[in-house]
Amino acid sequence: MGVFLFIFYSFIMPISLISSPLQAVTIITNSWNQSLRFYTDGLAYSLLTEGELTPSQKKAFGKKLGKYALLGYKEGAIVRLIELKDRLALPNRLNANPWDTGMCVLEAGTPDVMSFYRKMLSMRFGAISQPLQFSAKGEEPLGEVEMKSVAFFAPSGEQIFVTEIVRRLGGISLLKDKAIQGVNVPANVVISMQDRNAMQAFWTELLGISPVNDLPLHQAEVPIIMGGIAGMGFDMCLMGYGKERIGLEQHVYGKYNPLYTFKNFPCHFSLTGLACATWQTSDIQLVKKKSIEANFPLISEIGLPIRHQTEPEAIVLRGSLGEIIELVK
């Protein structure tokens, strides 16, 4: 199946307008101190820089947004924490099931998932399940991999999935084999969906991104880690261009779960939790032109703070299932 997808998309796929791995994930929080504690004390990320959003950024993304912090290591993707000055704001995916559509999960790697699990419980952060082990096998660049994973809810409602690579034969890991201090930088974001039909126009036709691997996952442990139903199957599509993965997974549930009801939970800067994912692009103006032609809403033509840039040139737009992506120059 993976070989077929690669050959098929290599003929029809437009040139990719995403030119990097995942650069940042944006977390909106109205519980600033607890969120900062989760990522710095819990995940051991460093506070790289902090400040206040500019008036132009607040006008574009929300007048109730305030300060920000960039969290991570010297290199790699970052967590961009942004304060929401609305104590009544609720989590974006409140009451959502794992299969409900939209951008739903942040994933990172660790060399020791059991130590991470015990540490987070001792800090009184809530785990969705105990660590569980499962395997996946596919065409390169995946290879055959045995993993042990656990999921936690962070203070603002976002779900983070932390994985240890127990054994690997071949392939290339986005999760890294060694962490600097316990947990690696963000490697993937996940979008859940009923089928991929709605995603074609945005991710493949507009941005040139398609499945590099398509992996049916039916092991009972996998959905339990995410708070799902044992035996709930789905296709895990690792997205990219050619054989380059960009740090995006699309989880497709409809084929294996025809009786499920699918509700949509679009991203928002006015609700808490995972709000946006960031990549680099080689051509901002072409993205803008194609987005307008395809009627995908533009949110902003300035970006949010990132490494070395307080107000980067960017294009921020909303995808087919309400996901928000930021493409920076």
State the pLDDT confidence band at 14, using cuts at 50, 70 and 90.
low
Residue 169's pLDDT is what?
65
Fold designation for 24-91+267-328: 2,3-Dihydroxybiphenyl 1,2-Dioxygenase; domain 1 (3.10.180)
Judge whether residue 175 has pLDDT over 90: no
- pLDDT tens profile 76-95: 999 999 999 999 999 999 99
Q: How far is residue 266's CA from residue 101's CA, in Å, rounded to a whole number?
A: 8
Which pair of structure tokens corresponds to residue 25? 């994930």
* Tens digits of residue pLDDT in 289-299: 999 999 999 99
* Strand partners for 72: 46
- Say if 2-16+93-252 and 24-91+267-328 have the same CATH topology: yes
pTM of the model: 0.91
- Of the two residues 134 and 66, the one the predictor is more confident about is 66
The closest alpha carbon to 236, from 193, 294, 281, belongs to 193
The confidence score (pLDDT) of residue 222 equals 80
Confidence of residue 7 (pLDDT cuts 50, 70, 90): very low
Q: What is the DSSP annotation of 148-180?
A: EEEEEE-TTS-EEEEEEEEEEESS--SS-SS-S
CATH 3.10.180.10 fits 2-16+93-252, yes or no: yes
Q: Of the segments 34-43, 140-149, 224-233, which one has the largest average pLDDT value?
A: 34-43
Amino acid (one-letter) located at 110: T
Quick one: pLDDT at residue 8? 46
- Locate the domains of the chain by residue range: 2-16+93-252, 24-91+267-328
Q: Residues with Cβ < 8 Å from 178, sequence gap 6 or more?
A: 111
Using pLDDT thresholds of 50, 70 and 90, give the confidence band for residue 141: low
